Amino acid sequence: MPVARVQSRSGLPDGPVSTREGSAIAKIVAENAKEHPDLFEEEVQMWVYEEEITVPKTSKHYDAGSKFSTQSHKLTKLINHFHENVKYLPDIPLPTNLIANPSLEDSVHDSTILIFNLPHQFIGGLCDQMKGHILPYARGISCIKGVSVDSEDVRLFSESIGDKLGIYCGALSGANIANEVAQEKFSETTIAYDPPPMDSRNPTPKATTPQGPTPSSSHLDLTAINGHKDSKGKTSKVKLIVPPSDLPPIDHNIIKTLFHRPYFHVQVVSDVAGVSLGGALKNIVAIATGFVAGLGWGDNAKAAVMRVGLLEMVKFGKMFFSNNVQTKTFTEESAGVADLITSCSGGRNYRCAKMSVERKVSIQEVEREELNGQMLQGTSTAEDVYHFLKARGKVDEFPLLVGTYRILQGEVRVEDLPDLMEGKKK
């Protein structure tokens, strides 16, 4: 029986974070592909943005007598030679069946499962390059945390990918710090994947009643349907292609098999919107938590901010994605409460907000000084969410999310946050 071919995408020009995280996920996928030859092809292609580098002298692979160390080489060549991403994920052995490929078109060729891990601003351009080079019945998983928000709408990155490529794409998110995952320290994640009806391998069961079989309409063969619902419960404009019947069905079981490791536990759910929103809104809450930490208000204050933040995350999801979002995604899953705790304990948004208060400077100044060109997601998400809520007259319903934005704008003080959380006007 044919098996699924997996392709992972890692690395872009602005890269250490995307490349580190992409390599960590690709490592997991390659390990599982090798262990399950009945389901997956052994070789996993990892697209890597090409660059010339020299092996650092601190690397265990450095040899003053070797041209591999003393001369610059393409990053993909070094990864495939040392089986290690010596620049962005040093000292972490990568599986030998993980192949770094500088050609996007070649790496996606004949892949039935595509895994996306890149900065969200590059989604459109990369998907445009992939068009015409992927299998029409491929399926995807987006590891890009967050959502796209403007005054008009909230869009899931997974659906942006799906719309661009004409495929179905789920989402992975959770309390997953890349270095810890790569070092095989125990962690967990949530993957949201709602299999399209046409991916079913069997017709709808012939249900019966005490009076006999149900009408023949219940015998509908789901594989004949090419429509599916989007995250808002509407019929998607994407017309999916049915995968060949001799391929293993890409369902919750195969997704878990592809990502689950003894050190990386996976829960698979169907709530793509909830998982995606958790990855976005927790960054705003992390900034608010960093603000009170910077004031030295202690753990009680941080816990209060996280509690209110979690409630507003749930409320936002239920208000704007009422057809699909489930409360338990936020309260029970790694993509919800666990990721919130991690982000509010030591994530970049938390740390930069804390330093901005301690140093009495703007968070943008800390961002420039501390993040080496990388961008905080929480600040831009806070602004986008505020304008989205304002356009709908819902500003007063989310006092913490809106209050955090107003602090960032300099309209109110950090010290005002407790009153803002209670909805008091400032």
Give me the active site residues, please. Answer: 282
Amino acid at 320: F
Judge whether 325 and 312 are in contact, CB under 8 Å.
Answer: no
* Chain position carrying tokens 């060549």: 77
Q: What is d(CA 42, CA 47) in angstroms, rounded to the nearest whole number? A: 16
Q: What is d(CA 232, CA 250) in angstroms, rounded to the nearest whole number? A: 22
Three-point CA angle 237, 241, 245, nearest 5° = 150
Judge whether 140 and 114 are in contact, CB under 8 Å.
Answer: yes
Cα–Cα distances (Å) from 286 to 35, 302, 342, 386, in that order, read 38, 9, 9, 16
CA nearest neighbour of 32 among 230, 238, 261: 261
H-assigned helices in 226-271 = 252-259
SS (H, E, C) 404-421: HHHHHCCCCCHHHHHHHH
Q: Region of 410 please: left (phi>0), alpha (psi -120 to 50) or beta.
A: left
- The β-bridge partners of 187 are 264
Q: What is d(CA 416, CA 409) in angstroms, rounded to the nearest whole number? A: 13
Judge whether 53 and 72 are in contact, CB under 8 Å.
Answer: yes
